[in-house]
Amino acid sequence: EPEVTQTPSHQVTQMGQEVILRCVPISNHLYFYWYRQILGQKVEFLVSFYNNEISEKSEIFDDQFSVERPDGSNFTLKIRSTKLEDSAMYFCASRDSNYGYTFGSGTRLTVV
């Protein structure tokens, strides 16, 4: 069964550093997403991406965040200057035209 692949599975970074979280969506999906989940809390929408541009973003997705699809397969989330409160599980997801969403295994980001 097709999978969404996320790397790395766990990243530790110092406050103020830039991080890039990587995702390979399912190849025939056209809609891509980033969500985050702070430990013990609900899953929160960050951003959606379609046709090489952001289609919607949440209030959380401020100027510190950016997304990119640098080639035909990768989809990345960049956090420019990490803060302690950015520590969370970050999930990439992609969906097909029939609203079938598939999530990756997540990247656990720890900011120290």
- Residue 21 contacts by C-beta under 8 Å, 6 or more apart in sequence? 6, 11, 34, 76, 77, 78, 79, 90, 92, 107, 109
Return the range that interacts with another protein (CB under 8 A); candidates 17-25, 40-48, 62-70, 78-86: 40-48
List Cα–Cα distances, 57 to 27, 31, 34, 112, in angstroms: 23, 13, 10, 26
Q: Output DSSP code: residue 42.
A: -
Candidates 45, 60, 66, 69: give the one binding another protein (CB under 8 A). Answer: 45
Beta carbon of residue 63, minimum distance to another protein (angstroms, whole number): 20
Stretch that binds another protein, among 21-29, 59-67, 72-80, 89-97 (CB under 8 A): 89-97
Work out how close the CB of 55 gets to another protein at its nearest, in angstroms, rounded to a whole number: 5
108 scored as a contact of another protein (CB under 8 A) = yes
Name which position in 24, 64, 89, 96 contacts another protein (CB under 8 A): 89
Two structure tokens written together for 82: 């990490």
Torsion on CA atoms 66, 83, 14, 91, rounded to nearest 10: -50
Residues that bind another protein (CB under 8 A): 31, 33, 35, 37, 41-45, 48, 50, 55-56, 58, 89, 91, 93, 99-103, 105-106, 108
